[in-house]
Structure 1
């Protein structure tokens, strides 16, 4: 790099390396970002005392990139080095210490260790409560972080409580079109989406979107994310053509605004793939999935948590295409990542167990199918998770027992799954039709023709 060659001394070289790292991270070129940040770190380690605040900042920068790469153990290690310096150098109520606790909380949250995440978020929050006025935006952000942990734990009412606290502060402290208020609306919208209250989810996502339309240029990535959020709600409602319309708007912006290997473009392709899968267009879903995977391969190292959802979708598409060996292979790859990066009883592992169980059912291996579905239920019935995920496992078990001609047990599981879906989904949702169809087949098998 010409800039580095022109640097007059170590201090300049450290600064330029740091700036280049920031640019590369912003472009999604994480490997190069880490290289520049670590170059800056090595220079600073030679020239500064080991507890110098500038070193803490550099540790933070390196940690940030590893977090974006999904390498959470390394991110945590660097954030902890930064925290050690701050704890020595700063008073116990210093805002930088709160930020440091917050960063560590975020990594634990991404690792699925929600108890640890909440512990660090609350440490951060206590500092903000002591040092800031009650309507300060930093307090609102802190409420959002704690709300996010409760949301990930499936405690949506608690999550909404914290998100509403955040919203009240933002509405008092900020102009009505401030981007932070838009983020607050997004969080509340997401909780309503997780609770399957789709009309409320759309209401808050659209509030957020209006702010972005007023305040951002038309090709800003945040506007793309907003379109994607709205598309996601329509997808959950089973309105796939409407979902595709919003995903298309989102993708056009990403395509113009981001480098071709940016992870957000991969997520955009995954959104399309999920829609095409639900529509039964598996050939197109597979094509789009491969686009997402190619981007992720250039952006991340193999085994990165970002691959898990891609592998899971490959598994589902190949299952629907009746290529069961490929399907099992991809679900197993997904499970391997989850087992390495998430707690043992994380809801994402349960979903994968249920997916693997369903492939075994389709292959006629009912014993294995029941075993994997039971593994899923052991998690889903003992931790808070999205009820619709539990419903899918019940329905998968119902289908397995129906094919084994154990109609009484099958009916029990179908009814459990149907009860949840009827509560959570719109009456016209395709996933309800699937259960009604399965129940009809069961009643025909038991000659209860009036029920079918």
Structure 2
């Protein structure tokens, strides 16, 4: 059978495939694959390409297990047809690595991307554009493994290859610079990231014009980073410019504009400008409801953001109405037993708890934990947040034994999932220490505070500002036992940490200084 005849026979199925929704993809794809295999033979290279193409579509539809199975088959067919070092094999390996990374399987993804790099480098040389893309992917995987220096090196090499190939002013380079900036931002390297955002924006302005939507997107991304730094006014100025561009280029009802409006509202909200933020959230919600539908995830995102501002202004009833709406949307879209719904239930429970509505909050916490417990697969680390919040509510009601059992479970779960030296473990231990202190069990509290401190010091280093709070907790427990001698040097260290990290005039530094003076004065010491 000729290839032309094969394609003609498959054409009706392929046309039918185009009309399917992505959620219907697997059975339709499998039917087409069976037709392709019958027409071409199981070892034909064109069939291998068909397998890869179907796997790519499945990956785009987030059907990762089905995609991975097809990538494996495609690798086998193409290796037999062309040999193990052919670029087409590298492309399959790279995409399979992306699928593994998307599922958090970074240990599986890393060797796949590495082998793809080796094949492409041998086939095309060290300066090939396709190689640059694979280097970026490998860098992303390494970063997720905490190997930031190796990741930075690969990203920089990819950028250099791309710049050499397409020139320093090509708009495709801006996308690579954005990726690199995002990675640096995640490491807290804000100055370096800001320089890359600036350069990317300048490239896009020069190539596409100052009023192009991609320029607006670059400005918005840059603004998000400034938000992270607490530079809300600078971020707001970038958002305003992005909004003006998007309104002109895309129109007043475009979802991209809604996202930027949401970002601008967040920057205002973080400055306490709730009255200015709320109309922007409402406009973003209206745009997304009209463009995407009333139950779209972007609508949910804006509803959640607006809730925070309403509660800060004391508009609890309106905020709770929005929280209930979010729960209803998520139950409909995700199902009543989806762990993501637990997060929303936990948020509403916390809000009800803050207003003293303990009975309704208790039911929501219980439901959230039950969903986590009954979800398939390994335990979800987020269950510890629900357990801690539930415990705090019980503690506020004086139900100390019930609270303590939840705190103990939160500690055990965190240690099991994250390891004994994770910061979430320290957080859970510290919370249990607060419960012991509330019951005047100060010796027990001090032992818990000490353990939490040691985990934090190991993870963050000896000069991190958060250590001062841990030291202060220990000081309280020691003073309650009358152990002033041991408390004094801890308070001195807390003050030194805050002076170095926050400056002499910061309110936390001033508070530590006053506490130390009061302690020394009570024992007739001079400082």
Same fold (TM over 0.5): yes
Across the aligned residues of Structure 1 and Structure 2, the Cα RMSD in angstroms comes to 5.0
2:392 to 308, 313, 320: 320
Equivalent residue number for residue 3 of structure 1: 32
Unaligned runs of 5+ in 2: 1-26, 299-329, 396-402, 437-444, 523-527
Residue 397 of structure 1: aligned partner = 471
TM alignment of 1:156-235, pairs within 5 A: 156-176=190-210, 178-205=212-239, 207-208=241-242, 215=250, 229=263, 233=267
Q: Which ranges of structure 1 fall in alignment gaps of 5 or more residues? A: 384-389, 448-452
**Quick check: 1:80 aligned with 2:103?**
no
Give matches, 1:322-337, under 5 Å. Answer: 322=395, 323-330=403-410, 333-334=413-414, 337=417
The answer for the alignment partner of 2:15 in structure 1 is none
The secondary structure found in structure 1 opposite 2:296 is helix
Aligned counterpart for 1:122 among listed residues 141, 153, 156: 156
Which residue number in structure 2 is paired with residue 57 of structure 1? 91
Distance 2:69 2:271 in 1: 44
1:178 Cα shift? Answer: 4.3
**Aligned residues of 1:251 and 1:268 also touching (Cα < 8 A):** no
Q: Partner residue of 2:429?
A: 357
Structure 1 stretch displaced more, 229-238 or 24-33: 229-238
In the TM superposition, what are the counterparts of 1:139-158 in structure 2 within 5 Å?
Answer: 139-158=173-192
Structure 1, 374-383 or 2-11: larger mean CA deviation:
374-383
Rounded Cα–Cα distance in structure 1 between residues aligned with 2:205 and 2:408:
49
What's the TM-score once normalised by structure 1's chain length? 0.72
Question: How far did residue 316 of structure 1 move?
Answer: 4.2
Aligned-partner Cα distance in 2 for 1:177–1:291: 46
Q: Verify the 8 A CA contact 1:198 1:233 in the aligned structure 2.
A: yes
Q: Is the 8 A contact 1:357 1:368 kept in 2?
A: yes
1:202 touches 1:233 (CA, 8 Å); kept in 2?
A: yes
Structure having greater relative contact order (Cα 8 Å, sep ≥ 6): 1
Residues 277 and 285 in structure 1, CA contact (< 8 A), matched pair in contact too: no
1:302 and 2:398 are equivalent in the alignment:
no
User: How far apart are 1:114 and its partner, in Å?
Assistant: 0.9
Instruction: Compare 9-18 and 30-39 and name the one that shifted more.
Output: 9-18
Q: Distance in 1 between matches of 2:350 and 2:272?
A: 12
Question: Per-residue displacement from partner, 1:39-97 (whole Å, max 9, x unpaired)?
Answer: 33333233332112111111111111111111111111211121121011012211111
- After superposition, the Cα gap between the structure-2 partners of 1:332 and 1:289, relative to the gap in structure 1 and judged at 3 Å, is same
Distance 1:271 1:251 in 2: 20
Q: Shift of residue 99 of structure 1?
A: 1.1
- How big is the shift at 1:414? 7.2
**Partner SS, residue 131 of structure 1:** helix
Moved more, 163-172 or 252-261: 252-261
Question: Paired residue for 2:296?
Answer: 256
Count of matched residue pairs: 419
The answer for the alignment partner of 2:7 in structure 1 is: none
Q: 1:180, CA displacement in angstroms? A: 3.8
